[in-house]
Structure 1
Amino acid sequence: MKNIVLFCAAGMSTSLLVTKMQDAAKAKGEEAEIAAYSIAEMDSVIDKADVVLIGPQIRFQEKDVKNKVDGRIPVDVIDMRDYGTMNGEKVYAQAVKLIDENK
């Protein structure tokens, strides 16, 4: 099972995107644990993640997150258009691709 973690400013704005990503995973017959958190919760959840996606509104914190994971897992910023349109299918595909490339 894939464990996908999304970070945003407060953990609230990504909740709809999480639901759409879960729908995309289900449609593909894949199991995935997908959850959104505030960036302030990073220390308590990051060790369980297979991949971390960052909301574009906090893209400036990408370096901090990458330093925290120290290359153990992939980290990327969600495309602003995909985030804005809540394109769960594309964001889920982004996460899966990162996980696959990290194997």
Structure 2
Amino acid sequence: MKITLVCAGGMSTSILVQTMVSSANKQALKCEIQAVAISRAKQEASDSDVILCAPQVKFQEAMLKEQLPHVTIATISMIDYGMMDGESVLKQAVSLVENA
């Protein structure tokens, strides 16, 4: 499973990616997790199973859905993002893929 997190510059999500990778390793989940800037999402996330938007770029979720209609796209909750709760965000991503 390929999970892409998008944010304004691709930097603020790097810590969240690390906590998600740690959680995936503990659960023995095979997945690739990356963070990219919203401006690069179309180019770098078109082969993702799920794209999760950081709350600060939620307003661009509809644009992403239009550009990448074959990818499941949602926004990370402000609480999970603020707490850098990689386990909860990973659970969200897995649930979205399973229910797609």
Bin for the TM-score computed over the shorter chain = over 0.9
Backbone CA RMSD of aligned residues? 0.7
| Distance in 2 of aligned mates of 1:21 and 1:76 | 16
Counterparts of residues 1-103 of structure 1 (less than 5 Å): 2-70=1-69, 72-102=70-100
Instruction: Give the TM-score taking structure 2 as reference length.
Output: 0.97
Cα shift readout 1:46-96 (whole Å, capped 9, x = no counterpart): 2210000000011100100111112x1210000000000000000000000
SS in 2 for 1:16: helix
Q: Is the 8 A contact 2:46 2:71 kept in 1?
A: no
**Letter aligned with residue 51 of structure 2:** V
| Distance in 2 of aligned mates of 1:97 and 1:64 | 22
> How far has the Cα of 1:23 moved from its partner?
0.6
SS in 2 for 1:48: coil
Which structure 2 residue ranges, 5 or more long, are not aligned?
none
SS in 1 for 2:16: helix
Q: Is the 8 A contact 2:42 2:68 kept in 1?
A: no
Structure 1 runs (4+) deviating above 3 angstroms are none
Between the two proteins, what is the percent identity of the paired residues?
A: 39
